Amino acid sequence: MIVRFFHRMASPMHFYRIAGLFVPWLGVLSAALLLAGLYGGLVLAPTDYQQGESYRIIFIHVPAAWMSLFIYVVMAAGGLISLVWRIKLAEVIAISSAPIGASFTFLALVTGSLWGKPMWGTWWVWDARLTSELILLFLYLGVIALYGAIEDKRVAARAVAILALVGVVNIPIIHYSVEWWNTLHQPATITKFDKPSIHLSMLVPLLLMALAFKLYYATVVLMRARCEVLERERNSRWVQSLVEPAAR
């Protein structure tokens, strides 16, 4: 049954229909978790004894940074699947993810700068973590620009897949940069193997925000993918059957 489900999802027509059913539910759940996470982080969580109120930006910065890495891995995985198995929807998911990933990366850099000013006394330093995150933003923008520059979208998708796979080497560099080099960026406090160095009252809203961001990504990527599928399949019979009733 699972194999049959994924086989059906590989069909653009079935993907368009099923994704349309998921989008509103994912959107509502994402908004609910976002409100709960913001309320917990900005109102309920106590003031940090070292950083004061300025630490609250982590409730946006940290989940955005996590998403910047997660989405690029999804994009690279989609590129690999499209190159090996020639599945069109993998191409669609990969290219649809790029603008969302770029937005989260930009948000992580901006919020990091806002936090860095009171903590480090400067908006920006050429720190290993910050620099590698900036490179990630350029990789996302490169993928978007490359896809837009090539007219044949199947050829463009293959070029994007190769670029995404080459750039995926930057992901472990970002993740382990605070361990490999002496950096100003603080080390891991949540993903440590023993226990997180963060109080539960701060950890819960942070995880709620992370889940809200993931569901937001799922919502938007499905919406973008549906539009991309319609563009690619515009001459197919099933798309024409959708357009004809609307034109009457």
Structure confidence at residue 182 (pLDDT): 59
For 134-154, the pLDDT digits (tens) are: 999 999 999 999 999 999 998
Structure confidence at residue 8 (pLDDT): 60
SS3 48: strand
Structure confidence at residue 38 (pLDDT): 97
Beta pairing partners, 212: none
Residue spans of the chain under pLDDT 70: 1-9, 178, 180-197, 245-248
CA–CA separation, 69 and 175 (whole Å): 9
Structure confidence at residue 92 (pLDDT): 96
pTM confidence score = 0.91
Residue at token pair 């917990």: 40
Cα dist. 212→127, 142, 143, 218 in Å?
Answer: 29, 27, 25, 10
E strands present in 28-112: none
CA–CA separation, 238 and 189 (whole Å): 50
Structure confidence at residue 196 (pLDDT): 57
